[in-house]
Structure 1
Amino acid sequence: MLDFSGCGDRDKSEVKPVDLAHYYLQKILLSSVYDVAKVTPLSHMGKLSARLGQEIYLKREDMQPVHSFKLRGAYNRISQLTQPECERGVVCASAGNHAQGVALSASSRGIDAVIVMPTTTPDIKIDAVRRRGGNVLLHGESFDQANAHAQHLAQTEGRVYIAPFDDEAVIAGQGTVAQEMLQQQRDLELVFVPVGGGGLVAGIAAYYKAVRPSVKIIGVEPEDAACLKAAMAAGEPVTLSQVGLFADGVAVKRIGAEPFRIAKHYVDEVVTVSSDEICAAVKDIFEDTRAIAEPAGALSLAGLKKYLAQTTPALAEAGKPARKVAAILSGANVNFHSLRYVSERCELGEQKEAVLAVKVPEVPGSFLKFCELLGKRAMTEFNYRFSGRDSAVVFAGIRLSGGQSELKEIIASLTSGGFEVQDLSSDETAKLHVRYMVGGHPTEPLSERLFSFEFPEYPGALLKFLTTLGSRWNISLFHYRNHGAAFGRVLAGFEVPEGDNEAFGRFLTELGFVWQEETHSPAYRLFLGSK
């Protein structure tokens, strides 16, 4: 039997590591979150489990009323306010899920809540907070400025400041996630938790280590916002100079002091993942659940996949059975327009696509030879613009089924075929910017005609196009990007002397693809045509 006597009365600095978990266990068991929060499912991910050979579960915190776990901690903190504190009201700073959690929690108890948000906050997030009953005050251009103003209001107006993560009651409220998970699946071996300020991972780690210490707790952070990893290395919280904003829900420069005090004892490992790996996890969640996670919400699953990829082969070789592992889908308040980026990058994150720069001789037939060397592999992208008579550099995306080993084969094949190849799959500038900037005006006048085509999306469609074209007309521009539809859209330019127009028309008919001439397009004239 656990003995909690006196735990709540001690100075926190005197609590020993073995007692710290019990101290928080008591607080978690006494948390009152279910007045507004709900018990969320721990869903089995059938497709991903079959693919990875492990039993994978997903804790669906996206199904909370505010679509995030943040409601738990916010309500637990607000529920403990005294009557005089309730009358003075509360204040917090947030541009995301904490704001909605505080707004709903406060309104459910009839408490006035001021939510300070940066002036740069999108309208969709402001409207969501107002719908939950929060009074939005826009201040500053960053979270730090908004947060400073929120604390100023707490001091000058007497409001109670509701911290997003560095607070005992908030940590305990988040820890109820672990309480549910243990009841839902008692034999989990690994639990992967997203880390921003650390409130969630601290609460989950403390609960598990008090009740079932054999369960490994693994924190997951973005590579460009790894404040817990930095703190673990330094032995104390440190402030990162800057953080990436793709997973904005965990874009925190400094781990909370109290969360770190817990995490340093009870978090077993920290895994970091790239934006591409997060995008791949968003896709995995959608394919198994049809839920659309925000990037921070899919973070822990990305870490789970990376960890299993590194550890499963050795366990399988040793004959170890499949493990039962879980990740937290921490939120689904996704900006819809960011899904375009997620869709573009998820294939790279799963190593199902490679991006190459290939130097080809500027002679008719070069593209055909390039495609013949690729064989029946599907092209996901093809960017090219004529820039001189000697050689050209093609920006090409290629779909992979065999990961890095297949990519090495492709590069070797192209190199032996006389092409210079550079792998850009890990080049962030190439993936984020250059792929959309390939083009420009040709360096000399061209007798160029421009056409848009609809390509049927099947392996070999591009090869058929180039085979039908042959080597009679030089391709002077080519852009193609697969978007997952039944037909891909291609923009292509050709050097067609005026006397060849009739023969070129026969080529278009023989090709059999839907096409339209775009030579007189204003955009083409302004940005791509001969000057």
Structure 2
Amino acid sequence: MTKKHTDYLQRILTARVYDVAHETALDPARNLSRRLHNKVLFKREDQQPVFSFKLRGAYNKMSGLSDEDRRRGVICASAGNHAQGVALSAHRLGCRAVIVMPSTTPKVKIDAVRAFGGTNVDVVLEGESYSDAHAHALTLQEQQGLTFVHPFDDPDVIAGQGTIGMEILRQHQAPIHAVFCAIGGGGLVSGVAAYIKAVRPEIKIIGVQTHDSDAMLRSVRAGKRVELADVGLFADGTAVKRVGAETFRLARELVDDFVVVSTDEVCAALKDVFEDTRSVLEPSGAMSVAAVKQYAAQHKLKGETLVAITCGANMNFDRLRFVAERAEVGEAREALFAVTIPEQPGSFRRLCALLGARAITEFDYRLGDPQRAHVFVGVGVSGRDDARRIANSLERAGYATLDLTDDELAKLHIRHLVGGRAPAAADGSSLASHERLFRFDFPERPGALMRFLNHLKPDWNISLFHYRNQGGDSGRVLVGIQVPPGDEARFTEFLGTLGYAHVEETRNPLVRLFL
């Protein structure tokens, strides 16, 4: 390490963060540790008063200002965790803070900034992006003589974040193989790496980025700072187009390796953390956990201690639907397929029989061709190899099969668009003639679907089927069944024998509009 880097050790040891922040727990992740055959520890920065680590750096910077600078006030541009850290620090220090946020910032975040800062904070909404807000903040800074509090590219901010590394080594004095840090602008990984490499250089520092916001990795590989044209916004806390000059210098020398994680892997990690802690992180907060899983598998680690910094929990509630949808795929517990089967009674039953005892997580189909049926199906699997075995077995049975597990179009859109109106038959009548439409509540257990199919009469054709496992005790299924004239009595008997709660929707106006 150069002298410039070792200077950070003193900065971190003397950083003022504990007036507002607290030493967070280093919690064992028992379930995840058991699955990975390594000791996984979560450094719980999501439990800070502002639900992220950003408070440390903001307060350390602001507490070091002169009385005159604090009297004039500070300014920052942020739409998230840094804004809340600056707001709470301003309230605690009794100084004015101007926080510029894009006009597109969700109200819940604006309200949180105002709540933390109280009367000390002025919120200014400007522009539609962070870049717009940042440019306006620089203008206000010059006009009003304010001190700019940068979210990452400032030695005092970096030192404040570095106290996390200091706590980790104090809390766990036994060997540690690696510490995993999410990277946006690089303040967190720079501070943690500066401390740990000065005290225990044998510990690896692993930087974590998403595949669509990997400015630090690209910069390190290029040997200079690289600016991304666009960044992904799912992990918005790390969506930075250009890393800092100082954080680049530190990361380039001190970070041992980088791991790039996908959206699905982050969603799976959010579920892992919830199962171990009953806490809900934000996507950026779970990136380190996703990287631990990927890194341990790639390097075939056993019996090592791996620390993941869970750096934030400012999660928008409406994102949870998306997270739940993608977590099983990210964990390789669900595979998605497009399967082509003959359009004839009994084909659906034969397909399900081929899938065996595996859980059907989704099934979408609409009658659209008199010869062939194209089915979108989700299947519970034990891993990628299991998914490949399923695809091979379906192909051997004569069913053309596409594995859609890694297809973004399929996961984001196509699964919701399968269906529509059944076309006309050759004689001008509807191909789905004599169709009756029902909503069923299936028990959410293996065999429930096969029981339904086995009760159907061989000459009744399924013309529509929609099901998606939502994690409840019962599965809600929409089914279209072509019941020939004169079979109404047999069909009524079938419904009674089946015993599943059901509602007929044949005459629902939505059926005429869309199906």
Tell me the TM-score normalised to structure 2 length.
0.97
User: CA deviation digits over 1:193-247, x for unaligned, max 9?
Assistant: 0000000000001111111100000000011111111001101110011111100
Q: Distance in 1 between matches of 2:487 and 2:232?
A: 53
Q: Distance in 1 between matches of 2:122 and 2:378?
A: 48
User: CA deviation digits over 1:380-428, x for unaligned, max 9?
Assistant: 0000011110111100000012x12211221121111111100000001
2:427 corresponding residue in structure 1? none
Number of residues of Structure 1 aligned to a counterpart in Structure 2? 504
Q: Do the aligned partners of 1:477 and 1:494 also contact (CA within 8 Å) in 2?
A: yes
- Name the SS for the 2:143 alignment partner: helix
Q: Distance in 1 between matches of 2:225 and 2:488?
A: 70
**Which stretch shifts more, 404-413 or 194-203?**
404-413
Counterparts of residues 78-89 of structure 1 (less than 5 Å): 78-89=62-73
- Name the SS for the 2:299 alignment partner: helix
2:167 is aligned with 1:180: yes
Q: Distance in 1 between matches of 2:61 and 2:508?
A: 60
2:306 is aligned with 1:325: yes
2:381 is aligned with 1:400: yes
5+ residue gaps, structure 2, are 425-429
Out of 392, 396, 403, which is 1:423 matched to? 403
2:327 is aligned with 1:339: no
Give how far 1:503 is off: 1.3
Q: Do the aligned partners of 1:377 and 1:460 also contact (CA within 8 Å) in 2?
A: no
2:190 corresponding residue in structure 1? 202
1:100 corresponding residue in structure 2? 84
- Name the SS for the 1:132 alignment partner: helix
2:109 corresponding residue in structure 1? 125
Out of 434, 438, 443, which is 2:423 matched to? 443
Out of 391, 414, 431, which is 1:434 matched to? 414
Matched letter for residue 419 of structure 1: Y
2:227 is aligned with 1:246: no
2:339 corresponding residue in structure 1? 358
Q: Distance in 1 between matches of 2:510 and 2:284?
A: 37
Matched letter for residue 217 of structure 2: K
Give how far 1:470 is off: 3.9
Matched letter for residue 392 of structure 1: A
Tell me the TM-score normalised to structure 1 length.
0.94
Out of 508, 511, 515, which is 1:521 matched to? 508
2:132 corresponding residue in structure 1? 145
- Name the SS for the 1:204 alignment partner: helix
Give how far 1:82 is off: 0.8
**Which stretch shifts more, 100-109 or 457-466?**
457-466
User: CA deviation digits over 1:92-128, x for unaligned, max 9?
Assistant: 1111000000000011111111111111111100000
Q: Do the aligned partners of 1:21 and 1:209 also contact (CA within 8 Å) in 2?
A: no
Q: Do the aligned partners of 1:209 and 1:266 also contact (CA within 8 Å) in 2?
A: yes
- Name the SS for the 1:279 alignment partner: helix
2:282 corresponding residue in structure 1? 294
Counterparts of residues 223-234 of structure 1 (less than 5 Å): 223-234=211-222
Q: Do the aligned partners of 1:74 and 1:162 also contact (CA within 8 Å) in 2?
A: yes
2:149 corresponding residue in structure 1? 162
Matched letter for residue 138 of structure 1: L
Matched letter for residue 189 of structure 2: V
Q: Distance in 2 between matches of 1:470 and 1:199?
A: 65
Counterparts of residues 475-514 of structure 1 (less than 5 Å): 475-514=462-501
Give how far 1:501 is off: 1.6
Q: Distance in 1 between matches of 2:323 and 2:167?
A: 30
- Name the SS for the 1:498 alignment partner: coil
Give how far 1:185 is off: 0.6
Matched letter for residue 280 of structure 1: A
Q: Do the aligned partners of 1:20 and 1:206 also contact (CA within 8 Å) in 2?
A: no
- Name the SS for the 2:439 alignment partner: strand
- Name the SS for the 2:440 alignment partner: strand
Matched letter for residue 75 of structure 1: Y
* Structure 1 segments (4+ residues) deviating >6 Å: none
Q: Distance in 2 between matches of 1:102 and 1:24?
A: 22
2:43 is aligned with 1:55: no
Q: Distance in 2 between matches of 1:229 and 1:456?
A: 48
Q: Distance in 2 between matches of 1:255 and 1:511?
A: 61
2:199 is aligned with 1:211: yes
Q: Do the aligned partners of 1:365 and 1:470 also contact (CA within 8 Å) in 2?
A: no
Q: Distance in 1 between matches of 2:510 and 2:101?
A: 39
Q: Distance in 2 between matches of 1:84 and 1:504?
A: 84
What do you get for the CA RMSD once the two structures are aligned? 0.9
Q: Distance in 2 between matches of 1:470 and 1:218?
A: 59
Q: 1:372 to 1:470 in 2, by over 3 A?
A: farther
Out of 231, 245, 258, which is 1:270 matched to? 258
**Which stretch shifts more, 80-89 or 491-500?**
491-500
User: CA deviation digits over 1:238-262, x for unaligned, max 9?
Assistant: 0011111100100111111110100
Q: Do the aligned partners of 1:20 and 1:262 also contact (CA within 8 Å) in 2?
A: no
Q: Distance in 2 between matches of 1:91 and 1:498?
A: 75
Give how far 1:523 is off: 2.1
Out of 374, 384, 388, which is 2:369 matched to? 388
Q: Distance in 2 between matches of 1:344 and 1:244?
A: 18
User: CA deviation digits over 1:430-484, x for unaligned, max 9?
Assistant: 0011111111111021221110001111112111111111422111110000011
Matched letter for residue 173 of structure 1: G
User: CA deviation digits over 1:18-46, x for unaligned, max 9?
Assistant: 22331111111110000000000000111
User: CA deviation digits over 1:62-115, x for unaligned, max 9?
Assistant: 110000000000000100111111111111111100000000001111111111
2:55 is aligned with 1:71: yes
2:358 corresponding residue in structure 1? 377
Q: Do the aligned partners of 1:192 and 1:304 also contact (CA within 8 Å) in 2?
A: yes
